[in-house]
C-alpha cells in the first residue's frame, strides 16, 4: 500500500508539472494573440514544434525512439 501511495504521489507531481508547462505555453500564445491574432497561432505552433523536438531528443537519449 505504501508503494502505491508513493507512485501515485510521484505521478501526480509529474502531471502537475506538465499542466503548469501547458498553462504557461497557453498564456504566452494567448498574450501574443492579444497583440495580433495571427501571432498567437505562430507562437503556439512554435511552442508545439519546440516541445516535440525536445521530446524526441529525450526519447532518443533514453533509447526509446
- Tens digits of per-residue pLDDT, 29-50? 999 999 999 999 999 999 999 9
Closest CA to 40 of 24, 22, 26: 26
Q: How many CB atoms lie within 10 A of CB 3?
A: 7
pLDDT band at 61 (very low <50, low <70, confident <90, very high): very high
Angle CA(29)–CA(41)–CA(34) in degrees, nearest 5?
50
For residue 64, the model assigns a pLDDT of 75
pLDDT band at 63 (very low <50, low <70, confident <90, very high): confident
Q: What is the pTM of this model?
A: 0.78
Angle CA(14)–CA(59)–CA(30) in degrees, nearest 5?
55
Amino acid at each position: 500500500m505504501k508503494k502505491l501511495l508513493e507512485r501515485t504521489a510521484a505521478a501526480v507531481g509529474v502531471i502537475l508539472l506538465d499542466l503548469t508547462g501547458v498553462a504557461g505555453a497557453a498564456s504566452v500564445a494567448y498574450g501574443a494573440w492579444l497583440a495580433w491574432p495571427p501571432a498567437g497561432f505562430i507562437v503556439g505552433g512554435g511552442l508545439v514544434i519546440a516541445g516535440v523536438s525536445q521530446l524526441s531528443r529525450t526519447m532518443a537519449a533514453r533509447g526509446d525512439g
